[in-house]
Amino acid sequence: MKARANDDWLRDLRAPGAEQAAALGDLRAYLLGAARYALHRRGSRLTHRAPTDLDQMAEDCAQEALLAILTRLDDFRGDSRFTTWAYTFAVHAALVAARREAWKAVPLDMLLEGPGGLARLGETAALGADPDRRVRRAEAWAVIKDVLDHELTDRQRQALSALLIEDVPLDELARHWQSNRNAIYKLVHDARRRLKTRLESRGFPAGEILRLFAGPG
Amino acid sequence: MTPRPLDRLLRQIADTEPEEISCSECFEWLPSAVERELAGAAPTFRGARLARHLGQCAVCREEYEVLRDFVRSAPSDPPREAGAPSGASPDPAT
């Protein structure tokens, strides 16, 4: 495998003929290593897949990453090694595929349409030995519950419930809603901002909230 | 131990910033952030914004951690095919 600095990678990948073919072959080998590593890290959730299936998944992810890299060569700014930048695509492709595999049998419709567990999160809010703290906890939770019930959209409630309680990966939620990561992240960010603003305006700054709910009492 | 959902919700509310980077920006910043962490470089403003995103986004956080660990553990000369003896040369990219 040829040693390449960042500029060499860019030049060879854009070159015609044999130089490009060699660079593509080398890059693909690097990407395959990263994809295999990422899938191995997710191994416990992919144990039902035969080793040959995982090899094929890694091959597919490396190929997907290679194609993405070739369409985005102009985006490489040179603030990291080219190979580190390229690995990012392979790791991303492999983990998205692994999450898809792990969640493909889960009926997200039913999960999202269910009663949701957000309301139950506060069941322990009024517990604890210290009466003053108990009251403050209950007051803080009442603010949170009010925002959850009356100020967030159905989508925001569903997203919070899916991500926080059901541990649905953002990728999978985005796929299910035919959306994308950025949009779902913004949806949840808007919900968090609303919750934080309301809590602060009612006398519960961030530090106070964490202190109130830390530990049992 | 995985935090309880209530603790996660409260932590995420507490750590919420008016402006946060998107998952796409996070993706673009990952490679240099990973290299800075592995080099022990001092945190930057951009790094702090990335860290806040990773605190809120489990999938981006997982990708950061896997990328970091792979780069840390990867030989400087990955074999052409996994499991095959390597005759490769190091990648001395700048």
A17-21, A66-70, A117-121, A147-151 — which is least confidently predicted?
A: A117-121
Interface test with A, best of B46, B70, B81 (most A CBs within 10 A): B70
> For residue B48, with 0-12 CB atoms within 10 Å meaning exposed, 13-18 middle and 19 or more buried, which class applies?
exposed
Interface test with A, best of B4, B6, B15, B53 (most A CBs within 10 A): B6
Pairwise CB contact (< 8 Å): A185 & B57 = yes
Residue range A111-213 forms a domain whose CATH class is mainly alpha
Q: Is B14 on the interface with A (CB under 8 A)?
A: yes
**A113 has a pLDDT exceeding 90:** no
pLDDT tens series, chain B, 94 aa: 566 888 899 999 999 999 999 999 999 999 999 999 999 998 899 999 999 999 999 999 999 999 999 999 986 644 434 433 333 333 333 3
Residue B60, domain extent:
9-73
Pairwise CB contact (< 8 Å): A213 & B6 = yes
Cβ-based contacts of A188 with chain B (< 8 Å): 56
In a domain, B61, yes or no: yes
**Long-range contact pairs involving A123-130 (C-beta distance under 8 Å, separation at least 24):** A124/B6, A125/A213, A127/A216, A128/A216, A128/A217, A129/A216, A129/A217, A130/A217
Which of B29, B76, B35, B13 minimizes the C-alpha distance to A191?
B13
Question: What's the average model confidence in pLDDT over A81-103?
Answer: 96
Please give the pLDDT value at position B1: 56
In a domain, B51, yes or no: yes
In a domain, B48, yes or no: yes
Residue range A6-103 forms a domain whose CATH class is mainly alpha
Which of A162, A155, A147, A131 minimizes the C-alpha distance to A193?
A147
Cβ-based contacts of B37 with chain A (< 8 Å): none
Percent helix / strand / coil, chain B, rounded to 5: 60, 0, 40
Q: What percentage of residues in chain A have a pLDDT greater than 70? A: 91
**Interface contacts (A, B; CB < 8 Å):** 159
Q: Is B6 on the interface with A (CB under 8 A)?
A: yes
Please give the pLDDT value at position A130: 81
In a domain, B56, yes or no: yes
Please give the pLDDT value at position A165: 87
Question: What's the average model confidence in pLDDT over A28-49?
Answer: 86
Please give the pLDDT value at position A184: 98
Q: Which residues of A85-99 are buried (b: 16+ CB within 10 A; e: fewer)?
A: bbbbbbbbbbbbbbb
Q: How many structural domains is chain B composed of?
A: 1
In chain A, CATH 1.10.1740 covers: 6-103
Q: Is B62 on the interface with A (CB under 8 A)?
A: yes
The band of A198, judged by pLDDT with boundaries at 50, 70 and 90, is very high
Cβ-based contacts of A121 with chain B (< 8 Å): 5-6, 9
Interface test with B, best of A27, A118, A181, A194 (most B CBs within 10 A): A181
Please give the pLDDT value at position A212: 87
In a domain, B86, yes or no: no
Q: Which residue of B has its CA nearest to A215?
A: B7
Q: Is B72 on the interface with A (CB under 8 A)?
A: no
The band of A125, judged by pLDDT with boundaries at 50, 70 and 90, is low
Q: Is B67 on the interface with A (CB under 8 A)?
A: yes
> pLDDT for A144-166, tens place per residue?
999 999 999 999 999 999 998 88
In chain A, CATH 1.10.10.10 covers: 111-213
Please give the pLDDT value at position B78: 47
